[in-house]
Amino acid sequence: MGMNEHPSMDEPTSISGDERPHSSADGNVASATVPHVIELRGVRKDYVMGERLLSALRGVDLIVEHGELAAIVGPSGSGKSTLLNILGCLDRPSAGKYLLGGRDVTDLSERELARVRNREIGFVFQTFHLLPRSTALVNVELPLVYRGTPARERREAAREALASVGLADRMEHRPTELSGGQCQRVAIARALVTRPRLLLADEPTGALDTATTHEILELFAELHARGNTVILVTHEPEVAAVAKRVIHIRDGQVAADERR
Ligand code: ADP
Ligand code: MG
């Protein structure tokens, strides 16, 4: 590990209960206050399309606190996935700032971003993104393989994550031997296995039937009740209905921010 990787900053301390003091040399975390999980300041994202500049995000300010369950809603093409990809450190803003857990991650290198993703973020996709030939257990272990966790510990954590999404009896099944809803549960277990600071999901029920959609929504609500910070992107009203906060995106901006 390099001198500049700030090991104490990489652990989701609020979840792990790790009591080590923050490195004071960073200056990114005020030790007296709990940092916001997410703070976006004036975030813009531009894409160059041939001769044209397409502005997918046009100045987004957003604060999300630990333990929130928020839905991001808006018409197709309004910038929801662009926003979520930035929140998930899959992409970087063209302008503005992103503070994750109080740490400025705006200008990190690809390698540093990959590390932040592995350490702090669980990401769930509409189409699951599972390894088709690997068992549920192996799929869920994968983030811990990248992290270098010893095999036994890894397996134990994966079993626990699968049990927590109701798949204790499907650990040795492959994706082709599972229903769509079960595949999404495996993907959620994979997102949870690292105990991330933040759980993000982009249209997680978009590929599921109505009954399964309800099951997966209940699971997210349960994960929220267990203390996870969850942000869901959706265009389905019933998905937004489980959220305590609904952030409306229109033309790359926050058009409304509704709490209930
Ligand atoms: P949503 O998820 O709300 O449907 P997106 O965030 O995917 O919207 O897209 C917002 C806008 O940015 C759209 O106009 C889309 O075409 C454009 N866009 C998204 N990703 C890219 C990209 N990689 N290159 C160019 N344009 C993109
Ligand atoms: Mg999208």
* Nearest Cα residue to atom 26 of ligand 1: 47
Residue 240: CATH number of its domain: 3.40.50.300
What are the backbone angles phi and psi of residue 163, rounded to the nearest 5°?
-60, -35
Residue-wise pLDDT tens digits, 180-206: 999 999 999 999 999 999 999 999 999
What distance in angstroms lies between residue 204's CA and the mean position of ligand 1's atoms? 18
> Is residue 25 predicted with pLDDT exceeding 80?
no
Nearest ligand by distance to the CA of 78: 1
Number of domains in the chain: 1
Which amino acid is it at 92?
Answer: R
Range of the domain at 117: 65-95+110-259
In a domain, 210, yes or no: yes
Cβ atoms of 182 and 207 within 8 Å: the answer is no
Closest by CA position to 38, among listed 194, 196, 189, 147: 196
* pTM, two decimal places: 0.87
Nearest ligand by distance to the CA of 127: 2
In a domain, 4, yes or no: no
Helix, strand, coil percent values for the chain (each to nearest 5): 35, 25, 40
What distance in angstroms lies between residue 87's CA and the mean position of ligand 2's atoms? 14
Residue-wise pLDDT tens digits, 130-173: 999 999 999 999 999 999 999 999 999 999 999 999 999 999 99
* Nearest Cα residue to atom 6 of ligand 1: 79
In a domain, 242, yes or no: yes
> Is residue 248 predicted with pLDDT exceeding 50?
yes
Check residue 240 and give its pLDDT: 79
In a domain, 47, yes or no: no
Cβ atoms of 67 and 230 within 8 Å: the answer is no
Read off the tokens for 46: 């531009």
Tell me what the pLDDT averaged over the chain comes to: 89
Task: State how far the Cα of 208 lies from the Cα of 181, in Å rounded to an integer.
Answer: 7
In a domain, 27, yes or no: no
- Mean per-residue pLDDT, 22-29: 46
> Is residue 10 predicted with pLDDT exceeding 60?
no
In a domain, 151, yes or no: yes
* Nearest Cα residue to atom 22 of ligand 1: 47
Name the DSSP class of 224. H
Using a CB cutoff of 5 Å, list residues around ligand 2, an ion.
81
> Is residue 26 predicted with pLDDT exceeding 70?
no
Check residue 237 and give its pLDDT: 79
Check residue 239 and give its pLDDT: 76
Mutation choice for ligand 1 from 47, 72, 80, CB with most ligand atoms inside 8 A: 47
In a domain, 202, yes or no: yes
- Return the residue matching tokens 């990809």: 85
In a domain, 193, yes or no: yes
* Nearest Cα residue to atom 1 of ligand 1: 77
